[in-house]
Amino acid sequence: MSGLDLIAFDADDTLWHNLIHFEAAEKRFGEMFSHHMAADTATARLMEAEKRNLGLYGFGVKSFTLSMIETAIEISGGAVDSATVSKLIAMGRSMLDHEIELLPHVEETLKALAAEHRLLLVTKGDLHHQERKVLASGLAHFFEGVEIVSDKKSATYEKICRRHGGKVERTLMAGNSIRSDVLPMIHAGGFGVYVPFDILWDHEHEDVPPGTPRYFEVKDLRGVIEVVKTLA
């Protein structure tokens, strides 16, 4: 038994693929509007809209779909036809409906850790979509709690620990985003483990200040088991 009360995991691009679906849709969007401007430029305009809308719409596919429609109207000078809008809506729908593809070593890692620890899943995005993904992943039984939150701030992690009867100083959060999963948890007083993923949404990019205590970086998810052992 280690000195940890709770071990929390991010979901998107930590346990299963997520960003590949956004990247594919962004690329396809650019191609759809390449008669108005270079495809790359159209994609970049969409990504600007996504960022601009985050504060109001929050994270997730539904917000992304609205941003696609908004950008299509902008790019076309208001001339976008309803068939194109329907296509964008269909793209959004298929993103909500795709199969869950687990990342490597997910099941073995969760299984090993769940044998001796209380695990939590902490994810942000559309409530409905995230609930569906958790169910479809077949991983729900490993977790004592699933927390779907609108954003991941230090206060979010403090609240979650309190709710699950764990001390934040004795809680570890592992995920692929330094900005959302790692630093706010460390600022709250817990441990943060960075599990890199090949692609990172640039909104989530942040550097870890040198000498940050309670910070770990691992090669893949199995590394979390090693970190937990060192904290024992």
Shorter beta-carbon distance to Mg ion: residue 10 or 147: 10
User: What strands, in cross-sheet order, belong to the sheet with 6-9?
Assistant: 145-149, 118-124, 6-9, 171-175, 191-194, 215-217
Shorter beta-carbon distance to Mg ion: residue 71 or 177: 177
- Smallest gap from Cβ 34 to Mg ion, in A, equals 30
Cα angle value 211/11/142 (rounded, 5°): 105
Instruction: Sketch the per residue contact string, 10 through 49, with Mg ion: x for CB under 5 A, - otherwise.
Output: x-xx------------------------------------
Shorter beta-carbon distance to Mg ion: residue 16 or 142: 16
- Smallest gap from Cβ 181 to Mg ion, in A, equals 7
Q: Can residue 147 be called a binding residue for Mg ion (CB under 5 A)?
A: no
* Residue range at the interface with Mg ion (CB under 5 A); choices 5-13, 57-65, 97-105, 129-137: 5-13
Shorter beta-carbon distance to Mg ion: residue 72 or 227: 227
- Smallest gap from Cβ 119 to Mg ion, in A, equals 16
Shorter beta-carbon distance to Mg ion: residue 2 or 145: 145
Are the C-beta atoms of 142 and 111 separated by less than 8 Å?
yes
Shorter beta-carbon distance to Mg ion: residue 130 or 176: 176
- Smallest gap from Cβ 205 to Mg ion, in A, equals 12
- Smallest gap from Cβ 201 to Mg ion, in A, equals 9
Q: Judged by CB under 5 A, how many residues of this single chain contact Mg ion?
A: 4
Instruction: Sketch the per residue contact string, 158 through 197, with Mg ion: x for CB under 5 A, - otherwise.
Output: ------------------x---------------------
Residues that bind Mg ion (CB under 5 A): 10, 12-13, 176
